[in-house]
Structure formats: C-alpha cells, structure tokens
Amino acid sequence: MLKPAEHTITAKNLTKTFGDFTAVDAITFEVKKGEIFGFLGANGAGKTTAIKMLCGLSSPSSGEANIAGFDIYKQPEDIKKNIGYMSQHFSLYGDLTVEENIRFYAGIYGLKSTEIKERSVALIKELGLENYAKRFVAELPLGWKQKLAFSIAIIHNPKIVFLDEPTSGVDPITRRQFWGMIYSAAAKGITVFVTTHYLDEAEYCDRVSIMVDGEMRDLDTPTALRTKYNLPTMNDVFLHMAVRSKRSE
Amino acid sequence: MKQFLAFVRKEFYHIFRDKRTLMVLFGMPIAQLLLFGFAITTEVNNANIGIYNQSPGQFSNDLVQRMTGSDFFRLSANINSEAEMLEAFQTNKLKMVVVIPPKFEQNVTAGNAKIQLIADGSDPNLATILTSSAEAVIMTWMKERAGTNIQIETIDPQVRWHYNPELKSAEMFVPGVVTIILMLVSAMLTSISITREKELGTIEILYVSPLKPAVIIVGKVLPFAILSIINAILILLVAWLVFSVPVNGSVVLLLFEMLLFIMTSLGLGVLISTVADSQQTALMLSLFGLMMPTILLSGFIFPIANMPLPLQVISNIIPAKWFLIIIKNIMLKGIGMAYIWKETLILLGMTAFFIGVSVKKFKIRLQ
Amino acid sequence: MRTLKFLLQKEFLQIFRNKAMLPIIFVLPIVQLVVLTFAADFELKNITYVVYDADKSQTSERLMNQFAASPFFKFKGAMANFNDGMSALDENQATLFIRIPPRFEHDLAKEKSAQIMLDVNSIDGQAATLSFSYASGIINSFSSEIRQEWNGLPEQLTMPIQVEKRYWFNPEMAYKNLMVPGILALLVTMIGLFLSAMNVVREKEIGTIEQINVTPISKVHFLIGKLLPFWVIAMFEMAFGLTIGYLIFNIPVNGSLILLFSYVSIYMLVVLGMGLWISGFADTQQQAMFLAWFVTVIFILMSGLFTPIENMPDWAQKLTYVNPVAYLIKVLRSVLLKGSTFAQMQWEFVKISLFAVTMLILAVRGYRKRN
C-alpha cells in the first residue's frame, strides 16, 4: 500500500493498453504537495491517457495509484471531489454565459449559494471579465476562454488540478498570464499537474518528467536535467531524448 | 478533379467507418419491409369477441360455433349482462360482443330473428372490419340453412382486383418504403452530415479550401446519393425475392426517376443545412418538416382523396406525392413515360428550385 | 440534491436558449396534430368510379343512380366501352370500374340472377376491400329492393335474420376520436426519444462530458438532470395537445384526467430512459438519431394506430407486447373514449412501470463516467 504522507500523487507501474498497443507503459512517480509537476512529451507519447487515468476518466489496465489519499480503483468518486481538471478540448458550455458556467460548475461541486456568488464576482474581477459576464462563452477569444476554464477548474479549491495542454493555441502574452495563474494556485497549496509540449514552459515547473513512447524516460528538476545531459536548454534535453522515439513519424 | 475525388473519398470514409449507422441504414428498410409485408394483412386474426346468448338452443349454439370456428374470432368470454359487457370493453378484454336476443330460437323459424353486433367503436377501423366479417359469417350460415330451394332475384357482383390481385400489403408498402428511404438518406443524412461539420468547426477548412461552393456541395451529397440508390435497389430486390413484388415496367425508367427524386431530396437536405446550425435542429427540421409530411401527406398511408380540400392542395407541394405516383405506376401498373411525364416534370421543377435556392444560400454564407 | 438543481438550471437554460429548437419543440408538433388529424382519415368518402353500362335498361340506370346518390362514391364518367374503362384505371382517373353486362335486366327478371362486374385498383389492399364491401352493400340493398317490388313480399321474408350493428363509445365512428390521442402519443414519443437520445451524445461530441465526468456528480443525478427537463416538456406538450384536441376536435374526455396524466408520466420515463440508453452507447448524434428513428418507425407502425393489432398474424401480435407506444395508445383510448377507471387499468400501470424501471436501469448502467 502506498503512503500518501507528503505526496499527493503516487503512481506505481501504472499501465494502460488498448488491444496490443501499450499507450502508457508502467509509469512510476510521486508528486509532492504544492508542487508544479510538468509532464512533457511529444504528441502521442501517452500524456493524455496518463492524465485521464489519474482523473478517473479511464480505468488503468494494471498498476497502482493514489490521488489525494484515495485509491484510484476503489475510490474514484472521492478522488473527483478533490481534483480539478481542464481538458485538451475546450469544455465549457458555449451556449451559457460566463456567469452561468461559473455558477453551474460551482454548483455541481457543492459550493454554497453565498460562496458561489462571492467567488463568481471575485473570479470575474480577477480575470477582468466584468463587461463579459453576461456574454456567451462561445463569443470569447480563445485565450480568455482558457483562463476562464482554468479558474473554473479550481473553483472548488481542489487539492490537485490536472491541466492537459492548457495553453495550446494561445498567444505568448496570454501564456505568460496563464502561468501567473498557475503559480498563484500553487502558492495557495494546490498541486498542479500539467502536460505540455511547449518546452519553455517546462522551465517554469518544479519538476519535469519526460514521456517517450508511453514510458517515463526521466524525472527531475529542469536544472538537474540540463546538468545531467549537459545541454543548455530543456528544448535540447527533450530533443535529445525524443529523437529515439519509435512513435514519431 | 483530383481535389474533388479526395474530398469525396473523405466523405466515404466518414460513412463507412460508422458501422452502426450503416447497419441501421441498410437494416432498417429491410426490417420494415419484412415486418409490414408479413405483419399487416387485410383480414382480422383471432380477435377477442364475447357472446351474450340470451336464447341458448340449437340454432344459437350452431351459430356461435360457426363464428368461433373461424380464424377471425376467438371466443374469450361468455357475457351475462350489459354491465359485464361494458366492463369487458373498458378493460380491453373484448373488441366485439355478439348479442343473441331472447326468443331467437323461435324467431329464426318464423323468419324474423335479430342479432346485435356491438363493437368497441374507439377504433373505427377495427370495429368496421369486425362487424362486417361477423355479418358475412352470419349471412353464409343463414344461406346454408335456408338451402337453395327458394328462387329470389339476386345480383351477383363479380370482382376482379387489378395490379395487386392477391391484396398483399407488400405491394402497397414497397413503393412507400423506397420513397421514405430515399428521402431519409438523401435529405436527413445530408443535412445532418453538413451541420455536423458546422458544429465541429471542420466546415471552415472546407470554406477556405480552393474548392468552389458547388464542388463542396456535390462532394458532400454524392456519397449519400450513391448510398441511397444502393439502398433502393436492395429494397426492390428483397421485395422481388421475398414478396414477389416485381417491377412490371421499365427498370431503367424506374432508376432514372429514383435518381431524380434523390436529387430533389438532396436539394432539400442542403437547404435544411443552410438554415440549421446544430445537428439537433437539422434533425428536428427534417423529422417534422420533411419525414412526417412525407409519410402522412404523400398518400403512402392515407389516401389523398380522403383529405379535406386544403390538405389536398398542400399535398401538391410534397415531392414524395409525385414520386409515389410515378413509382407505383412503373412498378405495379407497368406503364411508361406516356402516363407519368407530368409528375416527372413537376419533380424536375421542384429539384431545380431547391438546388437553386440552396446553392444561393450556401454562397451567401461563404461571403 | 443541490447539485441536481444546478444541473436542471443548466439544461433548461440550454433548451430555452436554442432559438431554432423552441418552435420545433412547441409549434411544429401542434401544427402536425391539427393537420394530421384532418389528413388521417381512413374512412373512404370519395371512391372514384367509372361506369360502362352495356345494358342501358331501366334497372341498370336505377342501380347507377344508387351509386351516384351514395356519399362514398364519386362518379367520374360513363365509358363507351370496356377498354376505355380499363385505361381510366391505368391513368388513376378512377379506382373502381363498374361494368353492367348486356341483358342485365333480362337475366334478372327471367333467370332470377344477374351479374355485375367490378374492376378494382387493389394496390392498396385495405382500401380496395373496403371499396368492394361498400359497393356490394349498395348492390345488395338494391337487390332486396327489387325483390320486394317485383314480388310484393314484405322485407322480413327476404332477410330471415336481421343483423343490427352498434358501435359503443364512438357511435358516429369518428376517426378523429382515434387519431387525436394516437397522434399525440406519437408526438410525445418522438419528441421525448429524439431529444433525450441526442442530448448526452451531443455533450460527448462537443467534449463537455469529460468535464462533467471528472466532477463528483453522481450518475443518477446527472441522468435525472437530463431526463427531467424533457419530461416536463413532454407533459406540457401532452396537456397542450389534449386541450387543442378538446377545443378544436371535440374529442370526448370520459375518464379521469389525473389517471391519464399519471399514466403518461410513467410512460415518458420509458421513452426518456430509452433515449438516454441509446445516448449511452452511441458515439455520434447521427448514430443516436438513426437508432432512435429505427425504433420509432417500428413502434409507430406496429402500434395499432394505423392498422389494428387484430389484423396482424399471431407472431406480430406478440411483438406488440414489447411496444410501449401500443400500450400508450390503448390506455389513451380507454380512458378518453371509454372512461376506464384505475381499477380497470391497473395492469396497464403495472406493465408500464416495469418497463420504465427496466429502461431506467439500462440507462444508468449504459452511462459510464469512466471507460
């Protein structure tokens, strides 16, 4: 049995196979409380599959994992109360307004009515969306949608938030603001688990794991990784490892 | 041309990878045809009836036996009072009660007996069929008892059934099912497939491609056209092999007319997709705006001659009405273009109109 | 329970915000109800016929006058010969061709028996049989008229047994009394099934379902949130449709409306459960729609509305045991037209409730938060 003392995520030999294809191959790692944990990999490396298993959207084929103190097989619904998730696809309701989306998600996470009102006002102010509160989400520019989606993913103060390529397609300024939001979430004690294929973003993480062909090839702080491979940037580190991928075309 | 082919190929991938839709698409008409061909007949079969015999005796027992001996009726209850009868109707246990009044025995010999047939009129169709079948049984019984020694004037109607001598329901359903399937695949599927691309946003990629709007439309609808014609041929084959409903007229002419109707439906489908923004809307529009009127106002199920005048007028704008006349004439009557050129012209006109309007609307969207 | 409130709020917002869907949900069905009730009339009123009278006698003329006077038949012309009559059938000018042979009057007087030829377009077998029975009815009553006249006999002796037909609950045999409840049943079924079948799949296609699946929301709550709005819409539609049927078509309401609506409320659970079940295993809205369409068409055509269930062979009659639409139509007719009571309908309630429980269990099991 894994002990989640100071670790909020522990995974041991977590594996997912589809037929004879192994999407995620026995990954083992631990994430500390309040850490920003980067999950790096090329498209198709198995990042999304891994994150879906950790969130309870997909059953692992084998291995163990414990999220926020709960077992991934036996207590998936308890896990869900303690995590937030932002998927690769935009998943707020386009035909609801900004306010309505906030109220809906806050509501189904069981926040009290007064809390919902307070958070909603605070959140809209924080994002500078005062003039857009009553607009349909479908009408917002992509960058704002992503920031809104992130804020909603942590509206219930989860212990961990999983972000699956949250910044893809977003301009550099918005990306910087987005990372600002990630830092302040982490400062509040929320553990951040983020997948990305922007290698400059890897430098922002406390620790980074590198996925290649479903396996976790390495895991350490960005500085340690650069030193280990004796390369100047994370970009070079990544290229060095990914070049041996069998899955890339 | 190469671009166009690539585009059509993509559409075919969409269609053939969705095994479930394909299964329903081809399974549905066949299942419908088999069900209706076998399940719907012109005679009642084992309808539950009751007997309220207030004059038990030789004659009445003989008559009751004759009635329940037929395949039409099944004697489910002997009724002893009006209240029982009401209860039996209200609980749907019986559909008709044969009331044999007191003194029936004496009156038969005297020649002035009466029999009451009380049917549940909440389904007028069934009630009519039941009472007339029962009346026929009573009449035969009566004639047999009377014998042939009395000479009275009778006019004997000799009936000949044309185009469908065995009164099979398949003859009636095959043209209807073909019509509905062509409409369903061509109009409904097309409109949904286009709005799907709108919903998923992939349509924008097509808009910005160097393909002309007309090419995009043709590319989208071509696979469905091919699919519907295959489907229609399949239905005709099943009709011929299973129900021996042949195509009496020219097969070439029939195929030509089917193609024309497919064009009409595709035009409608594209038109719907230019109006609808979501698959749900497209579905509901094709369902309630196209399918229901096609099924109910085209003359497939309800004879147009029976409708009130305003509806008869409305039925003229329903393409399926004209196609149904054409297909029945070719398939069952075996007559040619000389008899159906008018209907063909009307369909041609409608097709030109729908395609014209939808291409225009599609272009406006692009700008 | 509180989460349910938010789910419901969201679903209602989305439904009422969809400007294209609203008229489709509320206006189209009512238009259909009105139009179809007028259209759906099996009673043959205008059987078109042509005549070739080769006898041209007083008697044949009298018989033809009887046809002309009948409200069921519509005269389309006198034919000069047999071939003209047959091409009138070919060209759809008439569905019935009556031929009176030469020496018709002579045969009837001398041989006591004469023939008359009826050629019927029987593509629609049911309509053809009906036309024939109306025609023979006219011919029969004409024969007995002739018998009385020529022999001076009282009517009784020519017809030893008189058959009297009576139709309870609908003495005028009005089709609308059958069609209004029937069409209403179809409309609520279609609206309920299609909306619910496409709804969850839509969230799958757009991707919002993932966001829902990572929340601690329970499967049952989620499905209730999906089901309830459509349930409300369907019940409203039923009430609205019935009101229109009552006001415009004067359909009788002999039984208890509470009984009727309690039944419909359980029935809608069957339909919506089935829709959500379909939604659970379909991958795209297209698939969901086709499956729903497939099911509805068969349900509707085998429901006994258009062709009586008693007209089907035994195996097909048994198939109607699993057809919820057949149950609904039966109950609507019983309660509205016959005034059946709860005690008389209790088995129907038991059956539909079992059906509902089964469908809801399937729906809950079919929806997976994790794959």
Which residues of chain B does C306 touch, with a Cβ-Cβ cutoff of 8 Å? Answer: 301
Q: Tokens standing for B355?
A: 């395609």
- Whether B174 and B234 share a structural domain: yes
**C258 and C355 housed in the same domain:** yes
For residues B222 and B271, membership in a common domain is answered with yes
Cβ of B35 within 8 Å of Cβ of C302? The answer is yes
Confidence class for position B276, pLDDT limits 50, 70, 90? confident
Instruction: Give me the pLDDT at residue B215, please.
Output: 77
Q: Please, are residues C181 and C336 in contact by the beta-carbon 8 Å criterion?
A: yes
How would you classify residue B92: left for phi > 0, otherwise alpha for psi between -120 and 50, otherwise beta?
Answer: left
pLDDT in tens, A132-179: 999 999 889 988 999 999 999 999 999 999 999 888 888 889 899 999
Number of domains, chain B: 2
**Quick one: pLDDT band at residue A1, thresholds 50, 70, 90?**
very low
Q: Can you tell me which residue has the tokens 């707020």?
A: A92
Q: Which of B32, B90, B161 sits opposite C334 (nearest CB)?
A: B90
**Do the Cβ atoms of C363 and C276 come closer than 8 Å?**
yes
Verify that B235 and B321 share a domain, yes or no: yes
Whether C21 and C122 share a structural domain: no
Say yes or no: A57 contacts chain C, CB-CB below 8 A: yes
Same domain, C268 and C322: yes
Decide if B155 is inside a domain: no
Q: Which two tokens stand for residue A195?
A: 């997948």
* CB nearest B305 (choices: C48, C128, C316): C48
Q: Are residues B32 and B121 in the same domain?
A: no
pLDDT of residue A87: 85
DSSP A118-163: HHHHHHHHHTT-GGGTTSBGGGS-HHHHHHHHHHHHTTT--SEEEE
Ramachandran class of B257: left when φ > 0, alpha when ψ lies in -120 to 50, beta otherwise: alpha
Residues C182 and C240 in one domain: yes
Specify whether C261 is located in the same domain as C357.
Answer: yes
What is the per-residue pLDDT for C44? 65
Q: Residue A7 phi/psi, 5° resolution?
A: -100, 130
Task: Yes or no: say if C29 and C244 are a contact pair by the CB < 8 Å rule.
Answer: no
Among residues C134, C158, C182, which one ends one of the domains? Answer: C158
| Mean pLDDT of the region A97-115 | 90
Q: Are residues C206 and C306 in the same domain?
A: yes
In a domain, C95, yes or no: yes
| B211 belongs to a structural domain | yes
Greater confidence, B214 or B238?
B238
Are B311 and B187 contained in the same domain?
A: yes
Residue B274 maps to a domain = yes
Same-domain pairing of B73 and B175: no
Which pLDDT score is estimated for B32?
79
CA distance, residue C15 to nearest chain A CA (Å):
10
Per the domain annotation, does B81 fall within a domain?
yes
Residues B31 and B108 in one domain: no
Chains B, C: CB contacts within 8 A come to: 353
For residue range A37-61, list pLDDT tens digits in order.
999 888 888 888 999 999 888 889 9
Residue B231 and residue B226: Cα distance in Å, rounded?
Answer: 9
**Could you tell me if A163 and A87 are in contact, meaning their C-beta atoms sit under 8 angstroms apart?**
no
Query: Which residues of chain C fall below pLDDT 50?
Result: 156
Would residue B244 be called left, alpha or beta, if left means φ above 0 and alpha means ψ between -120 and 50 degrees?
Answer: left
Answer yes or no: is A105 within a domain: yes
**Same-domain pairing of C307 and C350:** yes
For residues C6, C7, C9 and C12, what is the CA-based torsion angle, rounded to 10 degrees? 180
Q: Do B161 and C163 touch (CB under 8 A)?
A: no
What local confidence, expressed as pLDDT, does residue A179 receive? 93
Dihedral angle over CA of C54, C60, C65, C68, nearest 10? -40
| Among the listed residues B188, B187, B215, the one whose alpha carbon sits nearest the alpha carbon of residue B362 | B215
pTM assigned to the model: 0.83
Range of the domain at A109: 93-140+150-157
Q: What is the CATH number of the domain that holds B68?
A: 3.40.1710.10
**Domain-located, residue C371:** no
Residues C128 and C193 in one domain: no
Does one domain contain both B15 and B73? Answer: no
Q: Does B20 share its domain with B64?
A: no
Give A76 to chain C, closest Cα distance, Å: 9
Q: A–C: how many Cβ contacts below 8 A? A: 81
Residue with tokens 């008709």: B96
**What are phi and psi for residue A12, nearest 5 degrees?**
-135, 115
Dump pLDDT digits (tens) for B113-165. Answer: 889 999 998 888 788 888 888 888 887 887 777 655 455 667 777 888 877 77
Give the residue from C211, C369, C370 with the most A CB atoms within 10 Å of its CB, the best one to mutate. Answer: C211
Residue B96 domain-assigned (yes or no): yes
Residue A198 domain-assigned (yes or no): no
**C31-81 pLDDT, tens digit each:** 888 887 877 666 667 788 999 999 999 999 999 999 999 888 889 999 999
Transcribe C146-214 into DSSP letters.
Answer: HHHHHH---HHHH-SEEEEEEEES-TT--THHHHHHHHHHHHHHHHHHHHHHHHHHHHHHHTHHHHHHT
- Tally the domains of chain A: 1
- The residue range of the domain holding B246 is 2-39+167-366
- Please tell me whether the interface predicted TM-score (ipTM) of this complex is above 0.90: no
C37 SS3 class = helix
pLDDT at A249 over 50: no
B-chain residues within 8 Å CB-CB of C297? Answer: 28, 32
Nearest neighbour of A81 by CB, restricted to C5, C18, C216: C216
Whether residues C320 and C196 share a domain: the answer is yes
B101 and B34 both lie in a single domain: no
- What residues make up the domain containing C83? 47-158
Residue B212 falls inside a structural domain: yes
User: Could you count the other beta carbons within 10 Å of the beta carbon of residue C28?
Assistant: 18
